[in-house]
């Protein structure tokens, strides 16, 4: 199992967390997603390597941005 952690800009509430979680769960190979707007982080459990670009596209489709600092 692969663990991926990504910082996201723009999540401000529990609704934002659910939107991110639901969108990322549609990516094949992702088993669990936990988003936290207070830390601005998303933790992903995946069965295999997932291309960061695939995750980034899903997040940007929701009008959020990946914090690439």
Instruction: Enumerate long-range contacts of 64-69, CB under 8 Å, 24 or more apart.
Output: 64/8, 64/9, 64/10, 64/11, 64/16, 64/20, 65/8, 65/9, 65/10, 66/6, 66/7, 66/8, 66/9, 67/7, 67/8, 67/9, 67/40, 68/7, 69/7
Q: What is the residue whose two structure tokens read 């601005």? A: 40
Record the pTM. Answer: 0.91
**CATH 3.30.70.100 assigned to 9-64:** yes
Q: How much is the mean pLDDT over the chain?
A: 95
Residues 12-43 pLDDT 10s: 999 999 999 999 999 999 999 999 999 999 99
């Amino acid at each position: 199992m692969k663990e991926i952690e990504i910082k996201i800009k723009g999540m401000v509430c529990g609704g934002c967390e659910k939107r991110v979680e639901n969108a990322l769960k549609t990516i094949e190979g992702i088993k669990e997603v936990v988003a936290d707007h207070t830390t601005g982080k998303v933790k992903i459990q995946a069965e295999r390597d997932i291309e960061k670009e695939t995750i980034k596209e899903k997040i940007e489709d929701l009008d959020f941005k990946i914090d690439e600092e």
